[in-house]
Every structure is written in structure tokens, then in C-alpha cells.
Homo-oligomer: A and B are copies of this chain.
Amino acid sequence: MASRIRLSPAERREQLLDLGVRLFARRSLDELSVDVLAQEAGISRGLLYHYFGDKLGFREAVVRRAAADLVAQTAPPPSGDPQQRLLHSMAAYLAYVEANYEGYLSLVRGAAGDPVLREVYDEARAALTDRIFESDDAGMLPDTPVVRLLVKGWAAMAEELVLSWMADPAGVTREQLLDLLGNSLPALVASPAAATVG
């Protein structure tokens, strides 16, 4: 019935993009075709091309929206104890990956070999890590070159922890994983190697 409501082209495009992102949550990029979306939306492929240009345009739009969702959903609370805010973000990150595993995994893997996916992925990663410095009003992280590099490394670790655990928990509980995600960065930053004058 919703499709009978008269939407502006921009609203219609947003609606289709929402559907694409929902489909992406449970499908890899390879499985997310214009055909699948057309079928799910009950519209023609031609109309989809009208909104998104071509197959790659549609894929890029979905991935950009998914990455923006990830960044938005993992935003830390605007104030409070920095470690609690980090824990909150990491809990949201884990929940995001759990809810969008197939699509997220295919973005991470696809980013390695595809320049467009890589750009989207790198931008999202940079937004996630830059935000930690921006929201660090309590000075948990000294903003030095060494700590900037360390946070990049830690972000790769957090991703590996979550993807490894999703693939095989291997005896680690969800609570233990959250502990690792929330406490690893403070432990790294407190280590003598990170304290080197950058």
C-alpha cells in the first residue's frame, strides 16, 4: 500500500535505498543485485536504473548508506566518562555487525580489492577513529602521531575480534568480547610504548 502514496523522486529513491540496505544486511554485495531489489520493491529494473544510474551506482549508494548507518549508530553519548562512552560505542558496533553481518563482511572483504568500496570503507573507518579524538574532552588519548597510529591499529583489531567471534565464538562469551572491545584501547594507550613523545 505504501507504494501507492505519492512520493517525490527523492523520497522514492530514499525508500528504495532503505530497502537496499535492509537486503544488504543479510546478503553479500555479490548477492545484492538490481534484480533482487526490483523484485523486492515490486518495480522494474528500468525504474531502478532511473534512480541509481547503473548496477555499480546502486551498489555504491547502498554501501555508502550502510557505512553512514554504522557511523551514526555507533556514535558515543555526547558526554560522560570517556571510557563509558567508548564502551557504549563498541557495544553499538558489535550490535551493528550482528544485525548486518553478511553485508558488513562483504564490505570489509570487498574493500580490499575494489577502489570504490575501499574509499567508502576507509572513510567510515576514519570517521570512527577520528571521532574518538574529537569526543575525548577528558584527555584519555594524547593526540600524538604514535597514538593516532595506535588507534588505527586498534580499529583493525576491533574489527578482527568481532568478525572472528561471529565466525566462531570458540568459547568466548559475548560479555567477554565486549570487555575486550571496550578495554583494549585504554590498555594500549596506557602502555609505555604509546607514551613515547610523538
Residues of A within 8 A of B (CB): 108-113, 145-146, 148-150, 152-161, 164-165, 170-172, 176-177, 179-180, 182-184, 186-188, 190-194, 196, 198
Contact = CB atoms under 8 A, between A and B. Distances in A.
Contact of A172 (B110, B146, B164, B172): B146
| Residue of A153, A180, A184, A187 contacting most chain B CB atoms (<10 Å) | A153
B172 A194 contact: no
Contacts of A148: 170
- Interface residues of A, dominant DSSP: helix
A171 B184 CA distance: 24
A187 B188 CA distance: 6
7 tightest Cβ-Cβ pairs between the two chains A and B: A187-B191, A112-B112, A145-B171, A156-B160, A179-B193, A157-B157, A183-B193
B170 A160 contact: no
A183 B146 CA distance: 13
| Residue of A170, A183, A187 contacting most chain B CB atoms (<10 Å) | A187
Given A188-B188, A193-B180, A153 B146 contact: no
A188 to B, nearest CB: 6
Contacts of A176: 145-146, 193, 196, 198
Contact of A180 (B149, B156, B159): B149
Given A113-B112, A172-B198, A165 B149 contact: yes
